[in-house]
């Protein structure tokens, strides 16, 4: 008897499952046009199962394939949706219940997201034919032409979009970007300003407007505009880099440094051009203010990412001695008064001269010195010399040689000397050859710094 009961229970359960699956199967829509209602009601899983069931029986059912793709989009499964939509467009025909505009709009967006710009553009051109008064499609096509550096076509489509929807800030901003890239600066500025009047939080518009102001040397305006662009993470690095460049153009490296440090902190891809330039400009500013340790740190990071970037390798070679000799490091990084003292030691200890006066000049110091009794210069008389010592990273040009000789003559001094931690241009060296001025290049200066009598 127990066996009979068990068999009955087993049969009952089996029949129950069979009835459940029959009912569930019967509940699935048999016609593709019903799938859209399921998706609208949020029943995307049911729509996917139903669409698959229809396609199992009718692989060429275009409507079922379209609604399967739409259900995948609703589930945020874009790769699966893209596959279904591509299969559908390759078949060459759409279903009776497939809305062509919606389908092509979704497909264009999916192509764009995968950087298949040519295919996306084809879809937007078809959409324009379907809806010739829809500004959005002209706008999207214009953006894609801009991406492909087709300024002529981009301008046509974006101007048409602006004509159809003159109060859309996105269109004005994109038109401004395209005009900027095609070097139509005044029209670009107008479009960007119109965009910002319509919507004041467009980082792209602020960024390119700031670049236009910077190119026009309106550095004060550019600095303010670019700060607004820097609030957006997408434009932060580039905007801060441009702001730093403004301060550098104003010869204010100490003001450029905070922006460039912020730019470096926002780097997400070290090998990108913007990242390399952010570190490069920051190193230039550190070098200008004599913070050589930090400058070298930035050059090292650039070199580790990209060998041969600009003059980084030359800079590292130029300042290699800093890593090994604290006296050279002190010479290049010391404050103004300390620097003058170091130079006095060089003149008095290395050249055996007595310094009579000292003052700071741009990139260095100027000294009037008289030779001691033991000095063995060419003239026997104790005559004063005008001496200038530079610690600029740039080679000394002939204009500076001319300048010191003119100033020495004006002060009734016969001879002069120029020392530099870098070097001399070929024209400067040639000019000095037949004139009463002594040149001390990097090697000679280093010898004086590291000798027992000088720099200690």
The CA distance from 281 to 298, in Å, is 9
Q: Find, among 436, 443, 375, 359, the residue nearest to 401 by Cα.
A: 436
pLDDT confidence of residue 454: 42
The domain locations on the chain are 201-318, 335-450
Predicted pLDDT at 306: 94
d(CA 31, CA 53): 10
Domain 201-318 shares a fold with domain 335-450: no
8 Å CB contact between 417 and 383: no
pLDDT-derived band at 3 (thresholds 50, 70, 90) equals low
**Segment 204-230, tens digit of pLDDT:** 999 999 999 999 999 999 999 999 999
Average pLDDT over residues 342-367: 92
Q: Hey, which of 24-28, 32-36, 136-140 has the most confident mean pLDDT?
A: 136-140
**Distance separating alpha carbons of residues 280 and 299, to the nearest angstrom:** 7
- For residue 404, the tally of other CB atoms under 10 A from its CB is 20
Is a pLDDT exceeding 90 seen at residue 90?
A: no
Phi, psi of 334 (to 5 degrees): -65, 150
- Cβ partners under 8 Å of residue 59, min gap 6: none
3-state secondary structure of 434: coil
Which is nearest to 178 in space by CA: 197, 156, 155, 194? 155
Average pLDDT over residues 52-61: 92
Kindly report the CATH class assigned to 201-318.
mainly alpha
Q: Kindly report, residue by residue over 297-306, the tens digit of the pLDDT.
A: 999 999 999 9
Asked if residues 454 and 350 have their Cβ atoms less than 8 Å apart, the reply is yes
- Alpha-carbon distance of 341 to 345, in angstroms, equals 6
Q: Residue 321: which pLDDT band, with cuts at 50, 70 and 90? A: confident
- The percent of residues in the chain predicted with pLDDT above 90, rounded, is 72
CATH architecture assigned to 335-450: 3-Layer(aba) Sandwich (3.40)
H/E stretch holding 438 reads: strand 437-440
Is the pLDDT score of 66 beyond 50? Answer: yes
Lowest-pLDDT range, 130-134, 366-370, 419-423?
Answer: 419-423
**pLDDT by residue (tens digit) across 438-449?**
999 988 998 888
Q: Which long-range contacts (CB under 8 A, 24 or more apart) does 237-241 make?
A: 237/263, 237/266, 237/267, 237/274, 237/275, 237/278, 238/207, 238/274, 239/203, 239/206, 239/207, 239/210, 240/266, 240/278, 241/274, 241/277, 241/278, 241/281
Radius of gyration of the chain (CA): 37
The predicted structure's pLDDT at residue 9: 56
Distance CA 447, CA 438 (A): 15
Average pLDDT over residues 386-405: 94
The whole-angstrom distance between residue 95's C-alpha and the CA centroid of its chain comes to 46
Residue 5: pLDDT band with limits 50, 70, 90? low
């Amino acid at each position: 008897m127990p066996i009979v009961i068990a068999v009955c229970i087993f049969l009952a359960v089996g029949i129950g499952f069979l009835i459940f699956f029959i009912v569930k199967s019967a509940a699935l829509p048999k016609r593709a046009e019903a799938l859209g209602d399921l998706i609208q009601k949020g029943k995307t899983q049911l729509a996917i199962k139903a669409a698959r069931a229809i396609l199992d029986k009718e692989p060429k059912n275009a409507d079922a394939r379209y609604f399967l793709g739409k259900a995948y989009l609703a589930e945020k499964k874009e790769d699966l949706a893209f596959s279904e939509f591509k299969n559908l467009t390759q078949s060459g025909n759409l279903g009776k219940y497939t809305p062509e505009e919606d389908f092509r709009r979704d497909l264009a967006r999916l192509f764009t997201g995968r950087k298949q710009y040519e295919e996306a553009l084809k879809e937007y051109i078809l959409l324009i034919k379907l809806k010739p008064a829809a500004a959005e499609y002209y706008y999207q096509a214009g953006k894609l032409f801009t991406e492909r550096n087709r300024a002529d076509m981009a301008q046509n489509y974006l101007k048409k979009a602006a004509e159809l929807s003159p109060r859309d800030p996105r269109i004005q901003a994109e038109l401004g970007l395209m005009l900027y890239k095609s070097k139509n600066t005044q029209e670009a500025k107008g479009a960007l300003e119109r965009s910002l009047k319509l919507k004041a939080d467009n980082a792209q518009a602020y960024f390119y407007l700031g670049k236009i102001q910077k190119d026009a040397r309106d550095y004060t305006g550019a600095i303010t505009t670019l700060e607004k662009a820097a609030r957006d993470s997408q434009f932060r690095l580039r905007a801060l880099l441009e702001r730093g460049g403004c301060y550098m153009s104003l010869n204010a490296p100490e003001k450029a440094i905070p922006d460039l440090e912020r730019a470096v902190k926002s780097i997400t891809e070290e090998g990108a051009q913007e990242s390399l330039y952010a570190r490069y400009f920051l190193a230039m500013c550190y070098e200008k203010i004599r913070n050589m340790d930090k400058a070298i740190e930035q050059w090292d990071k650039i070199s580790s990412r990209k060998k041969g970037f600009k003059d980084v390798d030359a800079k590292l070679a130029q300042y290699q001695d800093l890593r090994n000799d604290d006296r050279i490091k002190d010479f290049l990084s010391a404050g103004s008064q300390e620097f003058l003292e170091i130079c006095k030691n060089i003149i008095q200890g290395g050249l055996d001269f007595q310094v009579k006066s000292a003052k700071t000049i741009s990139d260095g110091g100027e000294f009037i010195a008289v030779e001691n009794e033991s000095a063995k210069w060419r003239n026997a008389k104790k005559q004063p010399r005008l001496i200038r010592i530079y610690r600029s990273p740039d080679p000394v040009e002939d204009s500076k040689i001319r300048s010191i000789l003119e100033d020495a003559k004006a002060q009734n001094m016969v001879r002069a000397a120029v020392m530099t931690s870098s070097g001399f241009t070929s024209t400067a060296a040639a000019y000095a050859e037949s004139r009463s001025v002594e040149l001390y290049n990097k090697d000679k200066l280093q010898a004086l710094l590291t000798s027992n009598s000088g720099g200690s």
